[in-house]
């Protein structure tokens, strides 16, 4: 059931999302280039600040510029338009100074956006019918637009995850290149290191070899840049709990902020865990889930595994700005193709439109100085519980694919102690 690395003609029916993104990029690029102040007026009319495009990429390039001037960008960054301190890997600061030329920002930003759109061509097509609509809805969502407009480095992680997952679906040594792409992503933006867990899918001798290589690379990197890495991580800002982020701790943190009651915050966390347990139980007991999962094409199944693991790890381990939800896109074709999990695909698509609904609600029911309005709180609560449900579904599907991983067999006492048993 393995597919070729290049997209076959049969996949062209799934090209609508990529074509829609390409068209949107072209329209916005023309508006910025020839529309004068229209682009910024439209942002203000939509309730957004009149930021220039590719703001996050500018932060990285400006950090490179100031670092080459000898400025400690973990403390201050006067080269950045907004004075943002460096929050990414120290490896970015070792890039050549010529890459920090402000004149290159539109080139790099547009190149990153176009590369993302082209990568969408390689995603498997969603099943025909309503699932195609869900896929298109997610791809053209405000979350995607936010990532593209900022030229955030999550786009680069997307560009490593998609080919990495496709290579991991191969039965040849190309899988090692896939693991290498995940490691590169982790060295550049930390959180993709969670994908090293997929080394468990390799045979024991290969697993040990790859773990040793990855450990040696990480040790050398942290040994050289350990202090800088800690400074970068400490600079990562804490996001507003009621606006623009998703994380497991958001639900209890938000209730704690509203009520100052540890008991109520604990109950909020319990509610999230209860929703996750219900989602996991419901999915795990679905008849035919394993058979349906096994019938998925290898690339679709591996994209679901990789993106599901990455998004679940991000949700459970830390805080994530809205645009990181673009990492759900590679998982969507698999989610939508599984009858037992197709509802989770729709939840993912709708969550990627939540920022737009949030702004509409905020316009009709503005927040007070003390706390968000009641409609905003209701929307926030629904969003938080929807994330708990979605992540639980992803975790079940990831574990279902990893349950027979050779690396996990090494952890079972009976695997080596009782021949003939598995």
Q: Are 63 and 77 in contact (CB under 8 A)?
A: yes
pTM listed for this prediction: 0.92
What is the mean pLDDT of the segment spanning 170-182?
90
pLDDT tens-digit series, residues 250-281 = 999 999 999 999 999 999 999 999 999 999 99
Using pLDDT thresholds of 50, 70 and 90, give the confidence band for residue 421.
very low
The domain locations on the chain are 16-121, 137-145+237-404, 152-236
Continuous H helices in 128-203: 130-139, 142-150, 154-168, 174-189
Q: Give the residue-averaged pLDDT of 204-209.
A: 90
Written as six digits, the tokens of 54 are 């590719």
Contacts of 216 (CB under 8 A, 6+ apart): none
pLDDT digits over 355-408, tens only?
989 888 888 888 876 778 899 999 999 999 999 999 999 999 999 999 888 887
Q: Would you tell me the crossing angle of helices 105-120 and 55-68 to the nearest 10 degrees?
A: 130
Mean pLDDT of all residues in 290-294: 92
Residues 126-142 pLDDT 10s = 888 889 999 999 999 99
pLDDT above 70 for 412:
no
Answer with the residue of higher pLDDT: 334 or 6.
334
Per the structure block, which two tokens stand in for 378?
């209701």
Residue (of 409, 391, 405) closest to 348 by Cα position = 391
What's the pLDDT at 416? 45
pLDDT at 15 over 90: no
- What pLDDT is recorded for position 322? 92
pLDDT, residue 277, reads 98
pLDDT (0 to 100) of residue 411:
65
Q: Residue 296's Cα: distance from chain center in Å?
A: 22
Note the pLDDT of residue 10: 46
Q: What is the pLDDT of residues 70-123, one digit of tens each?
A: 999 999 999 999 999 999 999 999 999 999 999 999 999 999 999 999 999 999
The residue that leads in pLDDT, 334 or 241, is: 334
Intra-chain end-to-end CA distance of the chain, in Å? 26
pLDDT, position 155 = 97
């Amino acid at each position: 059931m393995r597919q070729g690395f290049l997209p076959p003609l049969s996949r062209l029916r799934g090209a609508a999302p990529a074509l829609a993104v390409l068209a949107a990029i072209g329209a916005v690029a023309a508006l910025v280039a020839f529309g004068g102040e229209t682009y910024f007026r439209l942002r203000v009319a939509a309730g957004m600040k009149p930021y220039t495009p590719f703001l996050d990429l500018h932060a990285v390039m400006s950090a490179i510029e100031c670092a080459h001037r000898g400025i400690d960008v973990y403390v201050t960054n006067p080269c950045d338009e907004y004075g943002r301190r460096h929050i990414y890997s120290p490896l970015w600061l070792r890039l050549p100074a010529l890459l920090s030329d402000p004149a290159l920002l539109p080139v790099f930003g547009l190149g990153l956006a176009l590369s993302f759109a082209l990568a969408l061509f390689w995603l498997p097509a969603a099943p025909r019918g309503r699932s195609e609509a869900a896929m298109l809805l997610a791809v053209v969502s405000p979350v995607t637009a936010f990532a593209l407009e900022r030229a955030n480095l999550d786009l680069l992680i997307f560009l490593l995850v998609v080919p990495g997952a496709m290579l991991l679906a191969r039965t040849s040594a190309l899988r090692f290149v896939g693991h290498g792409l995940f490691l590169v992503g982790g060295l550049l933006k930390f959180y993709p290191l969670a994908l090293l867990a997929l080394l468990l899918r390799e045979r024991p001798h290969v697993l040990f070899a790859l773990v040793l290589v990855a450990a040696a690379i990480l040790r050398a990197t942290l040994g050289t840049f350990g202090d800088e890495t800690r400074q970068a991580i400490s600079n990562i800002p804490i996001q507003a709990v009621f606006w623009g982020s998703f994380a497991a701790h958001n639900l209890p943190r938000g209730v704690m902020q509203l009520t100052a009651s540890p008991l109520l915050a604990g109950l909020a966390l319990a509610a999230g865990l209860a929703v996750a347990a219900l989602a996991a139980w419901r999915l795990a007991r679905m008849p035919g889930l394993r058979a349906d999962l096994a019938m998925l094409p290898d690339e679709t199944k591996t994209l679901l595994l990789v993106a599901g693991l990455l998004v679940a790890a991000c949700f459970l381990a830390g805080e994530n700005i809205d645009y990181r939800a673009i990492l759900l896109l590679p998982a969507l074709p698999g989610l939508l193709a599984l009858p037992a999990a197709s509802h989770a695909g729709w939840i993912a698509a709708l969550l990627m439109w939540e920022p737009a609904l949030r702004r509409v609600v905020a316009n009709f029911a503005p927040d007070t100085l003390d706390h968000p309005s009641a409609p905003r709180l209701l929307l926030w609560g629904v969003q938080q519980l929807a994330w708990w449900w979605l992540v639980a579904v992803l975790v079940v599907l990831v574990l279902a694919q990893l349950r027979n991983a050779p690396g996990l067999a090494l952890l079972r006492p009976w695997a080596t102690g009782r021949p003939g048993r598995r």
